[in-house]
Structure formats: C-alpha cells, structure tokens
Structure 1
Amino acid sequence: MITKKAMLASAALVMLGGWSLTHAAGQGAIAPASPAPRLGASLDDVAPVEASQALPSLDPAIKARADALFVDAEDVGETRALYVLRDGEPIYERYGAGFGPDSKLISWSMAKSITAVLTGFLVSDGQLSLDGPAPVAAWQRSGDPRGAITLKHLLHMSSGLEHIENGDPVWDGDTVAMLFGGGAGDMAAFAEAKPAAAQPGEVFNYSSATSVILADILADTLTPSQNPAARRDAVREFIQGRLAEPLGMTSLTPEFDAKGTMIGGSIMHATARDYARFGEFLRNHGVVNGQRLLPETWMNFMLSPSANDAGYGGHIWLNRRRPAGADAALWPDRGPNDLFACIGHQGQYIIVSPSQRVTIVRLGITRDDQFPALRRHLADLTAAL
C-alpha cells in the first residue's frame, strides 16, 4: 500500500530533480519597463557557445579544467551551464545539450543570497534594522522567546527556531513539507510557527524556512496589504527597480506561494549570464557601472564569518574552515580567504574570487554522493584561473 507520506516524498523528489526544466517558462518573469543598463556589453555581446568552444586567448589548462565539468559527468553529475568571467569579461561559456544562453535555470538555495541583498536595500533605506527584533507578528506576544530574534540572527542562520532542513526520511524535513506538503499554501506561517529550540544566536542551523521568513518580512515592509497579488506585485516591483534593472538581470524570475510570499530560500530562475551579473555585483561590493547600490557596510556584513560557523556569512558561503563535523561547502585549504559563493541544491554555484578578479557560474544536476568530486573540479578550475 502506498502511503500519503511516500507519495509526498516521491513527488517532492521528482520536483526537486526536474523543476528547472519546466517550471520557469512564463511564470512571473520580471519584464523591464525600459532597456536595462548592463554590467558590461560583453556579457550580452559574446556569441552563444556550444560544445567546448571558448575564447581563442583562453589558456589551454583553464579550458581543460572547465571542459572537465562536462566530460566527467559520471563523477560530478550533469553540468548544464558553465560561465566564467575575469574582470567582468567572459572567458568561457558552455552549455549542456538542450540548454543555452537563454535557458532560465533554477537557483535553489542561491536565492538566499539574493534575498539577503534585498534585505540590505531595506536596511540601508532605514525601513528595517539589522540588530532590532525581526518584525514578525506571531513572535510579539509577551514572554515569547522568539521576540528576541533579530534580522542578523536570521541572516546568520542562528534564529534558534526548531527548523529541520533535511529530514530522515526526506518528508520529515521542513524543506519538503514547506515547499510541497502541508506548509506550501502559506510557507511563512509554517516557518514562523516553529517553536524556539535554542536561544537566538546560540547555534548555527541552516534552514530554507529561515529565508522564507525574511521574504515575508520584505513583503510586509513593502506593502501593508495581505492580498497575495498586491504582495507579489510589491516585491516584483522592488526587485525590478532595485536589482534586476540596474544589474540587467532581465531573466530573473522569483517564485511565490499562494499567500504572495516570495520563496526566497530556494526557488528563483535566471540565465547563467544573469546569475553572473549578480556575482559581479557582489565581486564589486555592491557597485554597478560606478554607482553604489548597497552600502559597503552591508557587503562587509554579508562577507564576514558568522559567530557560530566561520564558513557562513550573511546568507552566503565563505571559503573558511567550518566547525568540526560540518560538511565542506567550499575549499578553504586551496583557495583564497576572500573567495565566497552562493550555493544551491544539486550543485548550483555562483563562485566569486575577488583577489583573482573572477566569477564562475555552474548550473546542473549533481547527486549528494558526487559533491566531493564536484567541489574538487571547481577548486581545480579556480586554481587554474
């Protein structure tokens, strides 16, 4: 007999593996009101690259390392897009069969870093406070320990909430339940209803539900309306005006739940080139075309190690040693300390190495057991650069 839980787990796994193939088309894309400024004309003017083509001047050793991410599929999984920039100029671009420069691919948890930047805009505007209590109505009752949770705690994944990112079995985790199960209708309510399991700031607990709470705070800050359409429109307009248009990220497509809350921890879509634009924005510390969009203080916050996990900053992964027993995220023994990355489920990466003046986007499908090999290949590529 097939149980409801088994059916949920099966459906969730199918969606986790295949969402990027079908879901992005025509769903909530941000259309610019006018032609968007670009980080550099080269990001659009470079011709579509197929097979193992690269710019003629590319070092053969770098090309070999990059090509290996496609050739060694048994080791690293399926690479659907690889885009490499140096000094903002593309030096390598390749796509898997069926994909190309216009393919919008899923972010998974890379979305967390975009959510952090959107939060930074509102903090810099004075509408939110990094160190003040997070404005979540459900936590404001007298004596509720969750009332002490700040935006900084949420961004550092140290809220103390009883969130379980990955369950064993899979359907017992908050992520599957929130995205595909009982919490899907109102993801923020699901995430915010979790009780406190520790004091705020006491432990690191990576959680996609935490990012949905931030997305709910963003929507509540941008509009007093609880109408789902009004919430979606307010957030889309904000993203368009503050991020997508200035960066030229015209393909960026955030997804929303039925209540109009952006799924800010895991489900956005964009092309590899637009993910690279976001990486370049971070590499340049919040400056685009000579214009500062984010304060230097916010970028420093995002890229500084959190108290409970030096490998994690403000909703972004850092190339630092993590606590004993924690899974590796990057490669601190091989790369520079200033290297950082947005990382998503199944091997989505925006890797930024400021001291090397490099941004790398890798998108694809990688199984958990293939992640060590994928990290080695990406570390080899960054070392070659």
Structure 2
Amino acid sequence: MFSRPHPLIALALASTSLVGCGGPGPAEEPELSAEALAAVTENPGAPSKALAREVDDLFTQEGLGETRALIVMKDGKIAAERYAEGYDAETRFISWSMAKTVTAIMIGQLVGDGLLRLDQPAPVPRWQRSGDPRADITLRHLLQMRSGLEHTEAGDPPYESSEVRMLFLDGRDDMADYATAQPPEAEPGEKFEYSSNTTVILADIAARTLSDADHAEARRRAVSDYLHARLFEPLGATSMVPEFDRAGTLIGGSLMHANARDWAKLGELLRNKGSYRGEQLVPRSWVAEMVKPSPASPQYGLQTWLNRPTGGTHHPLFPDRAPHSAFSKIGHMGQYVFVSPEQGLTVVRLGHSNRAERIAMLQQLADIVELYPSEGR
C-alpha cells in the first residue's frame, strides 16, 4: 500500500511537470535581415544562416567598434562579403601596420632575386663605420623585430614614441634617416620590440638595393615600379597605393591603401605559399620563413603575426580558437587579414575599434572562423 505524498511535495511535483510540459524553451534568435542574408554567397562552405548571423553580429553588436568591410574567402572563393554604409568594394582602406607584411613580401622577392641575404649584416651605410655595434644587425633581426635598436612604438605622452616622431614630427621628411640613427639598447637578436621604424629601415634597404640614385623621385619610382611589376599587377591587386616620404622611402610600416578584395588577394597569396594562378610570385621558402616563430617572440614571424600561444594575456589573435598554423596581417585600430591554411580561409576585417573593442571584436571574428572545420592541410 502506498502512502499519499505530502501536499507541498505534490504541489512541487505538479509545478515541475507543468514547467516541463508548457514552459518556455530557449529564446528564438531574431530573423535575419535581407542585408545579412545577402552578404553570404550560394555555397559558402559553412552553414549559410549561421555564417550570415555571425557576420551580421560583427556589424551590429555593441562594443565591437565599427566594422566597415568584411570578406570571408573559402578555398579561393568569396563566401561572404559585406560593407558598412558609406563603403563599398571600390573603397580603399588604409593598411596601418598591415603594410609591414607587404614590405616583408617585397624583401623576400629581393632575397629570391639574389640581391639580399637574410642572415648577412643589413646593408645600412650608417652602420658600417668602424666600431659601430649596429653593424651586426642582420636582415633577419630587422624582419623579426629584434634589431636591438632604441625604437619605442608607443609612448606616454604619444609624441615621445619613436613611431609618432618618425611619422609626424622631426623624422617625417626622411624617415629612414631618423630610424637608422637611433642607438642600440640591446644586443642584436636579444629581444623582441615591435617597431614601425624597423620596417622603414627595411623599405630603405629595398630602395638602396633597387636604385643607386640618392634623389627622392628615383628611389620612389624604383620601389613603386618593382612592387607593381612583381606583386600588385600579377596578383591583380590594382587598387594598391603605397605612400612614400619626402626622401622617396616607402612608408612600409604604416601607409598603404587598397580595397578589401585586394587585401584578400594578398592574404590568399600567402595562404597559397606565394603562388597565384600557377605563377610563383614569392619564393615558397620565403613564405615558410615568414610564418616561422621568432626565437624572441613565438607569436611573430617575419613582419607577420602568428596564431601561436604565448602563455600571456591579450594575445593579438586567438590561438585557443583556430589552428596554430594561422597567421595575420594586423593594423592599428582593428585591420586584419587573417589566414588559416588548414581551414582554407582568408578573412579580411577592416574598420575602427579601440583597444577594448578590438579584444571583443576578435572573439566575434573567431566565431566566424570556427564555422569552418580544420582540414589539416
């Protein structure tokens, strides 16, 4: 014989039963707008609605800053493309530090031509004086941001930083002269210090390699012609506009302009190990060097950020959410060309986000990347 349950227990059981039968389930996601759906192509390589929603969130969520352009490419084809109001496929976007990776590509082409050597002292005339410790700085040291020079990228106040002084103050007319004049503060190769000045030194080396002339127009033309003939035109990146200072030096660490599709092409070039439509524009071995971790900083290669764990906080990418073989061009205020060869992905995000917004925005970008499984290529 069974005893009757206590009335309070019976009430609790009844309430539980009612909730289970008729209670509200998970909140339904809002309908996607026509704009959100239109951003995704017919066969994007991921669930179309999920991709449309993640892309839409990148443009509409609070706290991520302003996304102005996004392109997702899967296996060489556009999977998603969207622009904010006032921007379109023809808009040229500033690179900021994404230019550094383009400069490294150019240096790699010169190495491939036999005109420069990676592990020999950098050919900077000022450093060749007897007893100058900077004579031991190699091209590799410069490319890996471990020259040992006293280059401070960010200062407090900002006008005290080497970058601001070079770009906008006393170094602006001859940036390479300013950058190469800085004294050493560490042994070459000893420590990592991210520096736009360093990339200007690389751009100056390229100009000296390609032209014997000292006057600005000859230097500018030599580098511009080389970039267009060897990189931009074969790649079909016709919107690319590099900037030069008054001395004719490419501002290779900060100032190039291109539309989002051309930034994607540069990412795809590296995903395909320097090859484009069967033509090897950049030596395959050089691309491998670009994405090899520096001994002084595992998240950095040759002027390229790597998705490798460091054990620290505020990683510039998201190594916990994408393959460690992934890498990226990264520019000030949230410019990214993220490349994941294992996933067949190139993702371009261009816009304006402050530091806190960038941290949140990167996680939203990772939400897009995670829609694509790693294929172990």
Q: TM-score, normalised by structure 2?
A: 0.87
CA distance in 2, matches of 1:50, 1:148: 56
Quote the offset at 1:322 in angstroms: 2.6
Structure 2 CA distance for aligned equivalents of residues 60 and 151 of structure 1: 47
Equivalenced residues, count: 335
> Are 2:327 and 1:340 aligned?
yes
Q: Is the 8 A contact 1:51 1:95 kept in 2?
A: no
Q: Secondary structure at the match of 2:212?
A: coil
In the alignment, what sits opposite 1:63? 52
Instruction: Pick the aligned partner of 1:309 from 277, 297, 302.
Output: 297
Alpha-carbon distance in 1 for matches of 2:35, 2:292: 38
Greater mean deviation of Cα atoms: 49-58 or 216-225: 49-58
The structure-2 alpha-carbon separation of the partners of 1:323 and 1:232, relative to structure 1 and needing over 3 Å to count, comes to farther
1:296 is matched with which residue: 277, 280, 284?
284
- Partners of 2:341 and 2:213 in 1: CA distance: 41
Q: In the alignment, which of 348, 354, 358 is matched to residue 361 of structure 1? A: 348
Structure-2 separation of matches of 1:52 and 1:264: 37
193, 208, 211: which one aligns with 1:205: 193
Matches within 5 A, 1:65-84: 65-72=54-61, 74-84=62-72
- Structure 1 residue ranges (4+ consecutive) displaced by more than 3 angstroms after TM superposition: 49-52
Letter in 1 for 2:339: V
Partner deviation per Cα, 1:104-159 (whole Å, 9 max, x = no partner): 00000000000000000000111001000000011111111100000100000000
User: Residue 119 of structure 1 corresponds to which residue in structure 2?
Assistant: 107
Q: Which runs of 5+ in 1 are unaligned?
A: 1-48
What's 1:141 paired with?
129
- Cα deviations across residues 290-349 of structure 1 (Å, max 9, x unaligned)? 111222211111010000111000110110013646x41111111101111000000000
Compute the displacement of 1:246 (Å): 0.8
Segments of structure 2 that go 5 or more residues without pairing to the other structure are 1-33, 373-377
Determine if contact 1:115/1:265 at 8 Å carries over to the other structure.
Answer: yes
- Among 248, 272, 282, the alignment partner of 2:260 is 272
Partner of 1:319: 307
Contact 2:66–2:352 (CA<8 Å) still a contact in 1? yes
Paired residue type of 1:301 = E
CA shift, 1:351, in A, is 0.5
Tell me which of 212, 224, 230 is aligned to 1:224.
212
- Deviation at residue 57 of structure 1 after TM alignment: 3.9
Q: Using the alignment, how far apart are the partners of 1:200 and 1:300 within structure 2?
A: 23
The CA distance in 1 between the partners of 2:167 and 2:58, in whole Å, is: 30
- Listed one character per residue, the Cα deviations across residues 14-42 of structure 1 (whole Å, up to 9, x for unaligned) are xxxxxxxxxxxxxxxxxxxxxxxxxxxxx
What is the Cα deviation at residue 56 of structure 1? 3.6
| 2:81 pairs with one of 93, 97, 100 | 93
Structure 2 contact 151–193 (Cα < 8 Å) conserved: yes
Give the TM-score taking structure 1 as reference length. 0.85
